[in-house]
């Protein structure tokens, strides 16, 4: 990087989901050290949902469920094989497209809230060199 960025959002999509936030060259932790917990972003609000169903609405739950579906459909049981599967998955695969939608949702929210100069994406879920769309 030739430019020094002072405001950065780091997003990780792997076995877990999380982020780091740099504001004015300082790690932002929040009032209760909860800043960056993007895994708790709510994906969908349904007026009929009960508190016990809250977890199923969270982005981490949705992405984890989708990864399990991809693994089942590809016949793998070990996450160590997941990187190779994602690297070679067809661009038109419905599960991949949904995964891209979820990641895009998170990125959009982070960008709209923080307006960082740079967003860094990392994690095994991002093993594919390019994504459709």
DSSP for 23-73, written as a single string: ETTEE---TTS-TT-GGG-B----TT--GGGHHHHBHHHHHHHHHHHHHHH
Sheet arrangement for strand 17-23: 26-27, 17-23, 8-13, 118-122
Does residue 9 carry a pLDDT above 90?
A: yes
In a domain, 2, yes or no: no
The stretch 86-115 carries a mean pLDDT of 87
The domain in which residue 28 lies consists of 8-126
Q: How many domains does the chain have?
A: 1
Cα 53 from Cα 106, distance rounded (Å): 20
Sign of the torsion formed by the C-alpha atoms of 49, 45, 66 and 113? negative
In a domain, 24, yes or no: yes
What residues does 121 pair with on adjacent strands?
A: 11
109: pLDDT confidence band, cut at 50, 70 and 90? very high
In a domain, 131, yes or no: no
Does residue 59 carry a pLDDT above 70?
A: yes
In a domain, 88, yes or no: yes
In a domain, 132, yes or no: no
In a domain, 1, yes or no: no
Domain CATH code at residue 42: 3.30.420.40
In a domain, 3, yes or no: no
In a domain, 57, yes or no: yes
The stretch 5-15 carries a mean pLDDT of 91
């Amino acid at each position: 990087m030739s430019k020094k960025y002072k405001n950065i959002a780091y997003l990780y999509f792997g076995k877990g989901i999380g982020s780091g936030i740099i504001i004015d060259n300082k790690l932002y932790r929040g009032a209760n050290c909860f800043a960056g917990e993007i895994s708790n972003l709510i994906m969908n609000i349904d007026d009929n949902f009960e508190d016990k169903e809250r977890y199923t609405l969270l982005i981490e739950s949705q992405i984890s469920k989708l990864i399990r579906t991809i693994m089942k459909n590809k016949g793998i049981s070990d996450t160590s094989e997941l990187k190779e599967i994602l690297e070679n998955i067809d661009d038109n695969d419905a599960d991949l497209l949904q995964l891209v939608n979820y990641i895009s949702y998170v990125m959009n929210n982070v960008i709209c809230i923080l307006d960082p100069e740079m967003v860094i994406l990392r994690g095994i879920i991002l093993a594919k060199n390019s994504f459709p769309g």
